[in-house]
Amino acid sequence: MDQHQFVDAQGVQIGDHGTQTNNFTNAVYATTGHGAVALHWAMLPLYERLGGATGWLGFPTHGDADVQWFEGGVIAGDQAVPLAIYTEARELPLGPVRRLGDGADQAQFFDKGLVTVRDGVAEAWVQPPPVDFFKDWIS
Amino acid sequence: MAGGDFAVSKGVSTAALERDLGNPVSDAESLGKGNDTAQFFERGLVTVRGGRVQAWTSTSS
């Protein structure tokens, strides 16, 4: 079903715990756990490209002008970030989440660093200064 | 793991040495689509993005 299609006030059932209702400025997602959350149209193309409410982001839970939170991640700026990665980085991503290797591991670059998720464990990385191998020789 | 068990490209090896990351603990892994890679070392990580080599250290260590 085209999720941009206008539907009645009851919304369209999505999965087993939520509905989506579209209006002129946003799409309203309602779940028993999070209530009704409006998602602005500007976010919908990315959200739908990632599978919408049935994708890894899941249903929207809350948000503000900078970050929209979902069950499985956030949309910050023009990128989506898995929850485990955003919890470590807490800043806007520079690009999309990337698959790391051949399995389920992930990585995403940020302005001040990089976050990896290996075997489900998120880890933040920063760029270290060059090592001065001669510092002990000069005193 | 002693060094020498994993292949390391020259650029990655140089970056790891300059930042004192120790020996590699994995082969280079693909990082998204294209030729970008990531390789983990005893004390860090080296990524290659668009030909640019960057060394990283964990904030938890």
Element (H, E) at B54: strand B52-58
Q: Is B38 on the interface with A (CB under 8 A)?
A: yes
Mean pLDDT of chain B: 91
- What is the ipTM for the molecules in this complex? 0.89
pLDDT of residue B2: 47
pLDDT of residue A136: 66
Which amino acid is residue A118, in one-letter code? Answer: R
- The C-alpha atoms of residue B31 and residue A106 are separated, in whole angstroms, by 8
Indicate which of B39, B56, B57, B60 best probes the interface with A, i.e. most A CBs within 10 Å of its own CB.
B56
User: Is-contact B18 B54, C-beta < 8 A?
Assistant: no
Query: Which residues from A are below 8 Å from B57, CB to CB?
Result: 125-128
Q: Does the structure show a pLDDT above 70 at B5?
A: yes
Q: Is B25 on the interface with A (CB under 8 A)?
A: no
Residue A15's alpha-carbon distances to A11, A127, B5, B18, in angstroms, are 13, 42, 48, 51
- The C-alpha atoms of residue B6 and residue A128 are separated, in whole angstroms, by 23
The neighbour count for residue A72, using CB atoms within 10 Å, is 17
Averaged pLDDT, A60-73: 88
Place of tokens 């300059």: B18
Query: Which residues from A are below 8 Å from B30, CB to CB?
Result: 99-102
Among partner residues B18, B36, B59, which is closest to A125 by beta-carbon distance? B59
- Looking at the whole model, is its pTM more than 0.80? no
Query: Which residues from B are below 8 Å from A116, CB to CB?
Result: 38, 45
pLDDT tens across A83-95, in order?
Answer: 889 888 878 888 8
Three-class SS of A46-79: HHHHCCHHHCCCCCEEEECCCEEEECCEEEECCE
Residue A109's alpha-carbon distances to A122, B7, B9, in angstroms, are 13, 24, 22
> Strand A18-22 vs strand A26-31: parallel, antiparallel, or unpaired?
antiparallel
Whole-angstrom Cα Rg for chain A? 19
A56 class by beta-carbon count within 10 Å (0-12 exposed, 13-18 middle, 19+ buried): middle
Among partner residues A99, A105, A126, which is closest to B59 by beta-carbon distance? A126
Query: Which residues from B are below 8 Å from A102, CB to CB?
Result: 29-30
**Closest residue of A to B49, CA-based?**
A109
